[in-house]
Structure formats: C-alpha cells, structure tokens
Amino acid sequence: MQTFRKALIGATASLALAAGIVGTTAGSASANEWKLCSGQYLQFECWSGPDRQSGLSWYWDEAFSSIETNGTAMEVWTKPGFKGDYGYFAPWGYWPTLTYPYENNISSFSYPGV
C-alpha cells in the first residue's frame, strides 16, 4: 500500500505540473490530518494525511516551509530513512515559517511511537 501511495503522489504531482497548476491555499488541519506545505503560512502546495514516510518522492523531498500538526506530534528528519537532523513538532501546533535545519530540508517524517 505504501508503494501505491507514493506512486499516486508522484503521479498527481506530475499531472499538476503538466497542467501548470501552481497549487492550492491550505486550510486548517482537521483532527485526523496534518499539513506540510511548500510555502510559508501553509500556502501553495500542501501534503496532508495520516501516513508516515521514510523517504519522500522527488517532488516533495526538501520542499516544506511550514507545518501544522493534528492531535499527534510529528517527528521529522533531514535525510531519508529517518536519519539526519531530528525535529519534533508538538500536537496541535502551527509553524508558519520553518528555520534551519528544517526549512526546505525535510526528507522523512513519522509520529512518536510509530
């Protein structure tokens, strides 16, 4: 299922680029989802959902500039395979602008205890 989701995300991203879509403005995360967005203040293209990723597709790798979490904290790493600099983003949090080492540098993410 993980491979299918990655392929679907990559295919969706490719179609969006081919169509010339710039992206959508993100709303607030619901109780069951988080958001990682390519622009500051949850703007531009966003990825949301419940999955964890050990390695992001080429389109999303090192592309995030803002984060909003749901009722679960999010853990991020700057390298694929849950390696590199580690960051912890608390539940129900909102980070409109990420700074070094996370700004445009997140390559994997998960949740505490998963």
Closest of 40, 49, 46, 53 to residue 98, by C-alpha: 40
Helices and strands (H, E) in the chain, number of each type:
1, 7
Range of the domain at 90: 23-110
Q: Considering the domain boundaries, does residue 6 fall inside one? A: no
Q: Considering the domain boundaries, does residue 100 fall inside one? A: yes
- Domain with 58 in it: what CATH number? 2.60.20.10
Tens of pLDDT, residues 62-83? 888 899 998 888 899 998 888 9
Q: Considering the domain boundaries, does residue 17 fall inside one? A: no
Sheet containing strand 83-89, edge to edge, reads 83-89, 74-79, 108-110
What proportion of the chain, given as a percentage, has pLDDT over 70? 66
For residues 56 and 94, give the distance between their C-alpha atoms in angstroms, rounded to a whole number: 21
More confident residue, 30 or 107: 107
Q: Considering the domain boundaries, does residue 89 fall inside one? A: yes
The pLDDT score that the predictor gives to residue 96 is: 94
Q: Considering the domain boundaries, does residue 69 fall inside one? A: yes
Q: Considering the domain boundaries, does residue 15 fall inside one? A: no
- In this model, does residue 28 exceed pLDDT 60? no
Residue 2: Cβ within 10 Å count: 10
Count of domains for the chain: 1
Q: Considering the domain boundaries, does residue 61 fall inside one? A: yes
For residues 16 and 23, give the distance between their C-alpha atoms in angstroms, rounded to a whole number: 8
- In this model, does residue 51 exceed pLDDT 90? no
What proportion of the chain, given as a percentage, has pLDDT over 90? 18
Q: Considering the domain boundaries, does residue 51 fall inside one? A: yes
Q: How would residue 47 be classed by pLDDT, with cut points 50, 70 and 90?
A: confident
